Structure 1
Amino acid sequence: MVQAQGTEVSARTAEIVERLAGLEGPLLPILHEVQADFGYLPQESLTVIAHALNLSRAEVHGVASFYHDFRKAPAGRHVLKLCRAEACQSMGSDAVAERIKRLLGIDFHQTTLDGAVTLEPVYCLGLCACAPSAMLDGEVIGRLDAAKADEIVAEVRA
């Protein structure tokens, strides 16, 4: 997604807020919709949302920063999430994570310079029986090992 500019962001955000403001507890649905539209939560959007819902910017920022799925910047074309929970760690996820970070040349919460992939840690994908696990663009991958890590990196680099 292309990073949007000022008035366009405000206008598109206002449309989303207007459409969803009538929901009970509208803040989270609005934040999700804004991120779906822009690929991240632009600062301008948070201001529009706060004003429209009669909340402080700090309250909106607090909610947006509390949940790890909300982004402050656009993600790469691919999003790779690696499980960091105990079951995956006990099955070797640390070594796999280090391999993937080295192959991509980035750390968690970073995007490759070419914009191909964003690497994110998650704390349980619900695949404990198939540990270690990952999620690539919404598709879960179980029994992650060095060979699968190499395949994933090759896929996102293609």
Structure 2
Amino acid sequence: MSIEAPPARVDEVVSQALEAHSGSRGALLPILHAVQAELGHVPPSVVPVLADRLNLSTAEVHGVVTFYRDFRTTPPGRVTVRVCRAEACQAVGGQALLEHAVTSLGVARGETTPDGAVTLDEVFCLGNCALGPAVQVGDRLHGRVTPARLDALIGQTRGLGR
């Protein structure tokens, strides 16, 4: 249910990113970040285009996109839920909270619910270590999140139609 950008929009975004970073050493990462910032993900169709323009192999570009967890190859949901998996949060139930989110949402880490509402991600520090387990829902950071509170936070975002 996530929405893909039209091919013309993808081409425009890729062209702008390439132009902004042309001639830069190590331009691939900034270009990928620029594409994802505009489209919400890096469509697989841009991999061969970037490879050609940057004189890289398709495998090299694909490898970078799939290696870094920050890059998505599919559009995200309307809201992204990030559960912290760093040591401080793990020590106070972060793993159990993530497992609850997987079960509750019915998706694996990195996936989006079928209705396109929520994408579930794991991160390895939200910088809220004293208040673990920490969760980011959209742009808001929450501490000491229990499974019941996580369900309520997700329910609030779904109720708002975000």
TM-score normalized by the length of structure 2: 0.87
**Number of aligned residue pairs:** 158
**Paired residue for 1:36?**
37
Distance 1:69 1:87, change over 3 A: same
Q: Give the Cα separation in 1 of the matches to 2:6 and 2:57.
A: 22
Letter in 1 for 2:136: M
**Paired residue for 2:64?**
63
**Paired residue for 2:113?**
112
**Paired residue for 1:97?**
98
Greater shift after overlay, 131-140 or 101-110? Answer: 101-110
How far apart are 1:145 and its partner, in Å?
1.5
RMSD: 1.8
> In the alignment, does 2:158 pair up with 1:151?
no
Q: Give the Cα separation in 1 of the matches to 2:125 and 2:75.
A: 23
Letter in 1 for 2:74: A
Give the conservation status (yes or no) of the 8 Å contact 2:137–2:154.
no
Gaps of 5+ in 1: none
Give the conservation status (yes or no) of the 8 Å contact 1:14–1:48.
no
How far apart are 1:15 and its partner, in Å?
2.7
Q: Give the Cα separation in 1 of the matches to 2:54 and 2:16.
A: 13
Q: Give the Cα separation in 2 of the matches to 1:118 and 1:19.
A: 30
Letter in 1 for 2:105: L
**Paired residue for 1:46?**
47
**Paired residue for 1:86?**
87
Letter in 2 for 1:54: N
Equivalence map 1:18-29=2 (5 Å): 18-29=19-30
Cα shift readout 1:47-84 (whole Å, capped 9, x = no counterpart): 11111111111111111111101001011000111011
User: Identity of paired residues, percent?
Assistant: 43
TM-score normalized by the length of structure 1: 0.89
Q: Give the Cα separation in 2 of the matches to 1:90 and 1:19.
A: 43
Greater shift after overlay, 14-23 or 58-67? Answer: 14-23
